[in-house]
Amino acid sequence: MSGLLENKNIVIMGVRNKWSISWGIAEKAAKEGAKLIFTCEAAKSIENTKKLVCELGDFEVIECDVSVDESIERAFDKIKQKYGVIHGVSHGIAHAFTEDLRDEFIKTSREGFLHALNVSAYSLVGVSRYARELMTEGGSIITLTYLGGEKVIKNYNVMGVAKAALDCSVRYLANDLGGEHIKVNAISAGPIKTLAAKGIGDFNTILEAVKEKAPLRRNVTIEDVGNTATYLFSDLSSGVTGEIIHLDCGYSIMGL
């Protein structure tokens, strides 16, 4: 352990299992000395998440459904009471209806569109608003995005639109919070086989295409994401905010 994140309280949102990108972030942050506070979507998942995260340390798990303002408020109130100050938030949360991720984008229903944008993009705004109050010593907010918000990627559909809104929210939030020494950045991770990714039609084809074309000739791992997140949480990234960092083995630089 080199202690890059010693004395930092970091909220990790979005660990579902050990394949979750947020798990890679939590593992590395814990190794670097951070005190972690986990949130999970539903009260019924708290015990399972506790069992999962206990190998990283004696860390708290709190319910937070990001589609409900009161749930975000309750979660950050609890965090405030127990920890007072936080220095980081990792927002690793997204959701769209499965039927919207395997057919033409044009068929997206109003309900499906609003759901995806609500859970996957607006939630960062809501979470940042409450996190800000606890970041009295400055801080770093990180979210996870994907190239499908910049370019058309087959089947990514409404989630691409949500990621475009998320990317833009990162820039506006960075401007709002910069004066309080709070950085806001997104990691645009290459494709990784997680439960959320399984919902995207033909996901294995995407993995193969990236492996073949990316300059590093491989797919990224959750450990890669953990490394970049640690950099963003740490003081090494002191002048970096409002950025979408492509962590994709170079795939996004390629033309033909």
- Which spans of this chain sit near ligand NAD (rule: CB under 6 A)? 14-16, 20-22, 41, 65-67, 92-95, 119, 144-146, 189, 191-192, 194-197
* Among 156, 172, 231, 251, the one annotated catalytic: 156
Question: Minimum Å distance from CB 6 to ligand NAD?
Answer: 26
- Residue found by looking up tokens 């940042």 in the block: 128
Sign of CA dihedral 47, 53, 55, 57: negative
Q: Tell the smallest beta-carbon distance from residue 41 to ligand NAD (Å).
A: 4
Type of residue numbered 91? H
Q: Residue 118 or 138: which CB sits closer to ligand NAD? A: 118
Choose, from 122, 146, 231, 251, the residue flagged as catalytic.
Answer: 146
Whether 130 is catalytic is: no
Least separation in angstroms between residue 144's CB and ligand NAD is: 3
Q: What span, in angstroms and rounded, lies between the C-alpha atoms of 198 and 96?
A: 12
| Of residues 61 and 177, the one with the C-beta less far from ligand NAD | 61
- Rounded Cα gap, residues 186 and 119, in angstroms: 16
CB of 235 to ligand NAD, least distance (A): 25
Q: Which is nearer to ligand NAD, 177 or 222 (CB)?
A: 222
| 156 is known as an active-site residue | yes
Rg (CA), the chain: 17
- Crossing angle for the helix pair 222-233 and 21-31, nearest 10 degrees? 50
Q: Pick the closer one to ligand NAD by CB: 61 or 196.
A: 196
Indicate the residue type of 174.
Answer: A
Residue closest to 36 by CA, chosen among 200, 207, 230, 195: 230
Annotated active-site positions, please?
146, 156
